[in-house]
Amino acid sequence: MGGRIGVLISGRGSHLRNLIAFCRRGEIDAQVVSVISNKPEAPGLQYAEEAGIESVVLSHRLYPDRERYDEQLAEILEQDKVDLVCLAGFLRLLSPPFVRRFPLRIMNVHPSLLPAFPGLHSQEQAMEYGVKVTGCTVHFIDEALDSGPIILQKTIEVLPQDTPDTLADRLLPLEHKTYAEAVKLFFENRLRVNGRKVIIL
């Protein structure tokens, strides 16, 4: 059967759809078995439904603090026996206790070449800075924002006519491909972390 992936979403779910497709085609030796959204209106939930994957809406508004919410989130993922947690546009910073429950088992893709332009609005940040090249980063999550060990990075040129929206649109297919590649490497047991460095075997 391969590995088990839990995906956390907040929005459109394009990364979720992409990971489901890679798994279904056998390009990743795993299956998405759990989808959790903190927003009931997240369009990405329909991709889980269409694929017959169990999904849960867990609204953070129903919990008194981040730690209580994350504790419930972790319990669901542990019940589903996930091997890897993939963030797919999940717009919440995970608490240190959550991260410690899944050490080097939480992955995210970010639309910049970290450590440049962390957080939100990365394309706007890149264009305001005037960079000629940007890209995407897939990294393990640690206890700080967009600071975990980097697994893969891929680049694209920033064109003179680009806007933040056109740059985001051109970058998204590269994000999809790079994220799937990193998840594939994880389930092939080819990633080793030495301090901040991720070594690909």
Please provide the CATH number assigned to the domain covering 3-192: 3.40.50.170
Q: Which residues are catalytic?
A: 110
pLDDT for 13-33, tens place per residue? 999 999 999 999 999 999 999
Global confidence as pTM: 0.96
Dist. CA 188–CA 21, nearest whole Å: 18
pLDDT for 1 equals 64
Report whether pLDDT(113) > 70. Answer: yes
Q: What are the residue ranges spanned by the domains of the chain?
A: 3-192
Comparing CA positions, the residue from 173, 146, 10, 19 lying closest to residue 86 is: 19
Beta bridge partners of 68: none
Q: How confident is the model at residue 193 (pLDDT cuts 50, 70, 90)?
A: very high
Secondary-structure breakdown of the chain: helix, strand, coil percentages, each rounded to the nearest 5:
35, 25, 40
Strands in 69-157 per DSSP E: 84-88, 106-110, 133-140, 150-157
In Å, how far are 44, 124, 128, 134 from 48, measured between CA atoms? 7, 31, 36, 31
pLDDT for 68-87, tens place per residue? 999 999 999 999 999 999 99
